[in-house]
A and B are shown apart, each in its own frame.
Chain A
Amino acid sequence: MSEFVIQTNNLTKRFGDFTAVDQLTFAIQAGEVVGYLGPNGSGKTTTMRMLLGLILPTEGTATVLGYDIRQDSDAIRAEVGYMSQKFSLYHDLTVNENLHFYAGVYGINNENQIQACLDRVGLEKQKNILVSNLSTGWKQRLALATAIVHHPRLLFLDEPTSGVDPTARRAFWDLIYELVAEGITALVTTHYMDEAEYCGRVGIMREGKLLALDTPSNLKISTLPGKAYDLRAQPILDTLQVLEQSQHVLRSGLVGDHLRVILSSEVKPETIVEELKNHSVNNAEIEQVEPTLEDVFLSLAAQ
């Protein structure tokens, strides 16, 4: 048994001329929560499907829980939980019936184990409701319950929070951390930048390539070419135009009611304030801030 829960080597998937996943090499250790961040179509789902043996890789190798993904996908599937993007639930079945179905298919008939699973995701009160009448947030919890009812060692969550409101998203991540505390390993894809911050490590994917994989703070240090600042000035659009023309500014953009600017480390923020004054923007205030993963993502995407 390898010490890595997931290990891939040049994993590649092509659909005709289109390369969905391009030479992916990474490793995940037990107990980690790894987030995969990337826009739609960047290869996150394809990667997950290959690891589950749902589709065969074109090239490269990978092991999951020590099993080869080409040969031993049955062994892998018995020990992992998977929550697919569409929440694969039967809409004409109740919460309880869905859970019992998946439990039975995994050979679990222990009623206590099933009820405990229902309790854990907080669906005890909803257990007799038809899935078609559930809100997206509840469906998401039920989908998670069906993915963990057999106590898997590894959890694949494919965009588990898409279409779910922020409170439910937060609660969902709390659930994931409870599971991780009990020893489960999780690979989660998302396109929410703020969610990626919750992950132990974040992989950033674009056009099938894994651009970086590290802890959020390391990513901010290693991938950002400079420092991040919040800049407030009026009129905001004119300011942005000046910044975009400036040779000191690596990147600038609107964030809510203010601007986010990345300056190379040698440039002092005062230099920019001066420069703005020369362009008759006199009220600029600048303040160094903690960079976000969005900054990381955008600067990686610009390369």
Chain B
Amino acid sequence: MINSRLRSLIRKEFIQIRRDPRTLVLIIVIPIMQLFLLGYAATNDVRNIPLAVLDQDHSSAAKALLDAYRAADYFRITYAASSEKELRDLVDRGVVRAGLIIPPNYGDKVNGDGNTTIAFVLDGSDPTIASTSLSAAQLIGQQYSTKILAERMQRHGQTLVMEAPIEVRPQVWYNPDLVSAYFMIPGVIGMILYALTSILTATAIVRERERGTIEQLIVTPILPIELVIGKIIPYIILAIVNTLEVLIIGAWYFNVPVRGDLMLILLLSGLFLLSSLGIGIFASTTANTQQEAMLIVWMSLLPSIFLSGFFFPIEAMPKVLQWISYIFPLRYYLVIIRALLLKGVGVSALRDQIIALTIFGVVIMSAAAKRFRKRLD
């Protein structure tokens, strides 16, 4: 299959890549930088939410409640407010995200047999933080009141026997601690590979057009499909290096489990790269300048990232967007890479995605070869 024409083209591409060491360094370094940046930024975990406290009671019971809040690392008590107005001001200015108000008679009520209410004020402008802190605050409150209840009953000479009629016992598979990095890092891997490779090949053919070498290339007996494949193969090899890079850093630094077979991961990543490189090549055959090719790739990049399930679950999208998401190869790869890393599944569980990526790869490469007519007009 590799004939003289293809071999010459691949050799030429490799020499050109090697003669441009700055670009080569960028290709190697960019994924590492992006993985570190996005690996930290792309997280849904909420920790250390700044919290202001207005303690109007100052009893030992109030201190015990605050300790319970301190113990859970959801909150960081950063301010002790002296009035409700100050507390409101702190929330308004965004200095704290939430406030806890302990009423004046709290200690008496808790130590006696009475009920009391503590107020939890929160800033709802960031729904992720708000919903996490709300449930965290409720959870801490409930646990603490259960503890008080138990103490009271003990004081009255009873033991607490609470048996709920139904118990829901949640069992989380694959990512039992629900660490969002485990979910996000495979997505970041997919996104980095997609963006880098499609941008790399976007300029591959249009560069020859800009430099005028395309005219000479067209008059040779080289076939359009040979040109497309010859341009892609060197970048596939580079992209596999990138895949290994991000996998190693993901596993070693972010502790993302690699449960699947490594060869399978590389093989299916290669399959995905056919699509992303194909998109770049397609853009390159369509565009007249390198700039135009970059723009085309950018246009496909943003919707793929947002509609592929990288940030938002596809199931939660409107139906129309869900249908549209089927045309983005990243969607399938994200399922594959998450499943391979976190679940360690085999080929059979990913059959649909593999078929979809194969079809996409073949279609985009043939389209690119077809677009590249051996003419100038």
CB neighbours (8 Å) of B8 from chain A are 100-101, 103-105
Q: A49-B376, A90-B12 are in contact. Are A54 and B215 (CB under 8 A)?
A: yes
Q: A92-B19, A97-B15 are in contact. Are A55 and B375 (CB under 8 A)?
A: yes
Query: Is B314 an interface position by the 8 A CB rule?
Result: no
Interface size of A by CB at 8 A reads: 32
Contact between B220 and A88, CB atoms less than 8 A apart: no
Contact between A84 and B215, CB atoms less than 8 A apart: yes
Query: Is A78 an interface position by the 8 A CB rule?
Result: yes
Instruction: For the complex formed, measure the closest distance between the CB of A257 and the CB atoms of chain B, giving whole angstroms.
Output: 40
Query: A142-178: contact bitstring with B at CB < 8 Å (1 yes, 0 no)?
Result: 0000100000000000000000000000000000000
Contact between A104 and B374, CB atoms less than 8 A apart: no
Task: Pick from B4, B11, B16, B20: contact of A107, CB below 8 A.
Answer: B4
Query: A74-91: contact bitstring with B at CB < 8 Å (1 yes, 0 no)?
Result: 100110101010101111
CB neighbours (8 Å) of B216 from chain A are 82, 84, 88, 102, 146
Contact between A92 and B220, CB atoms less than 8 A apart: no
Contact between A107 and B5, CB atoms less than 8 A apart: yes
Please give me the residue from chain A that is nearest to B218 by CB atom: A54
Q: How far is the CA of A99 from the CA of B299 in the complex (A)?
A: 38
Task: Pick from A54, A73, A93, A106: contact of B220, CB below 8 A.
Answer: A106
Would you list which residues of chain B between 204 and 232 have a CB under 8 Å from chain A? 211-222
Query: Is A52 an interface position by the 8 A CB rule?
Result: yes
Please give me the residue from chain A that is nearest to B18 by CB atom: A92
Q: How far is the CA of A105 from the CA of B214 in the complex (A)?
A: 13
Instruction: For the complex formed, measure the closest distance between the CB of B6 and the CB atoms of chain A, giving whole angstroms.
Output: 9
Instruction: For the complex formed, measure the closest distance between the CB of B16 and the CB atoms of chain A, giving whole angstroms.
Output: 5
Query: Is B47 an interface position by the 8 A CB rule?
Result: no
Instruction: For the complex formed, measure the closest distance between the CB of A98 and the CB atoms of chain B, giving whole angstroms.
Output: 9
Q: How far is the CA of A88 from the CA of B208 in the complex (A)?
A: 9
Please give me the residue from chain B that is nearest to A92 by CB atom: B19
CB neighbours (8 Å) of B7 from chain A are 104
Would you list which residues of chain A between 34 and 88 have a CB under 8 Å from chain B? 49, 52-56, 73-74, 77-78, 80, 82, 84, 86, 88
CB neighbours (8 Å) of B221 from chain A are 74, 77-78, 105-107
Query: Is A109 an interface position by the 8 A CB rule?
Result: yes
Listed A/B pairs (10) with beta-carbon separation below 8 Å: A54-B376, A54-B377, A55-B375, A55-B377, A73-B374, A74-B374, A78-B221, A88-B212, A88-B216, A104-B8
CB neighbours (8 Å) of A90 from chain B are 12, 16, 213
Task: Pick from A55, A105, A107: contact of B9, CB below 8 A.
Answer: A105
Instruction: For the complex formed, measure the closest distance between the CB of B308 and the CB atoms of chain A, giving whole angstroms.
Output: 36
Please give me the residue from chain A that is nearest to B214 by CB atom: A88
Question: Which A residues form the contact surface with B (CB < 8 A)?
Answer: 49, 52-56, 73-74, 77-78, 80, 82, 84, 86, 88-93, 97, 100-109, 146
Instruction: For the complex formed, measure the closest distance between the CB of A158 and the CB atoms of chain B, giving whole angstroms.
Output: 9
Contact between B375 and A77, CB atoms less than 8 A apart: no
Question: Which B residues form the contact surface with A (CB < 8 A)?
Answer: 3-5, 7-9, 11-12, 15-16, 19-20, 211-222, 374-377
Instruction: For the complex formed, measure the closest distance between the CB of B142 and the CB atoms of chain A, giving whole angstroms.
Output: 68
Task: Pick from A55, A78, A89, A104: contact of B4, CB below 8 A.
Answer: A104
CB neighbours (8 Å) of B377 from chain A are 54-56
Contact between B222 and A105, CB atoms less than 8 A apart: yes
Q: A54-B218, A73-B374, A105-B222 are in contact. Are A92 and B5 (CB under 8 A)?
A: no
Q: A88-B212, A90-B16, A101-B11 are in contact. Are A52 and B4 (CB under 8 A)?
A: no
Q: How far is the CA of A249 from the CA of B8 in the complex (A)?
A: 62
Please give me the residue from chain A that is nearest to B377 by CB atom: A55
Q: How far is the CA of A109 from the CA of B12 in the complex (A)?
A: 15
Q: How far is the CA of A177 from the CA of B214 in the complex (A)?
A: 28
CB neighbours (8 Å) of B212 from chain A are 84, 86, 88
Q: How far is the CA of A100 from the CA of B120 in the complex (A)?
A: 76
Contact between A92 and B20, CB atoms less than 8 A apart: yes
Instruction: For the complex formed, measure the closest distance between the CB of A292 and the CB atoms of chain B, giving whole angstroms.
Output: 33
CB neighbours (8 Å) of A104 from chain B are 4-5, 7-9, 11
Q: How far is the CA of A101 from the CA of B214 in the complex (A)?
A: 14
Contact between B15 and A109, CB atoms less than 8 A apart: no
Q: How far is the CA of A189 from the CA of B148 in the complex (A)?
A: 100
Instruction: For the complex formed, measure the closest distance between the CB of B97 and the CB atoms of chain A, giving whole angstroms.
Output: 55
Q: How far is the CA of A108 from the CA of B217 in the complex (A)?
A: 15
Known pairs A88-B215, A92-B20, A93-B12. 6 more at Cβ < 8 A? A53-B374, A92-B19, A101-B8, A105-B217, A105-B220, A107-B4
Task: Pick from A77, A86, A93: contact of B15, CB below 8 A.
Answer: A93
CB neighbours (8 Å) of A80 from chain B are 219
CB neighbours (8 Å) of B16 from chain A are 90, 92-93
Please give me the residue from chain A that is nearest to B10 by CB atom: A104
Q: How far is the CA of A146 from the CA of B217 in the complex (A)?
A: 11
CB neighbours (8 Å) of B19 from chain A are 92-93
Instruction: For the complex formed, measure the closest distance between the CB of A6 and the CB atoms of chain B, giving whole angstroms.
Output: 15
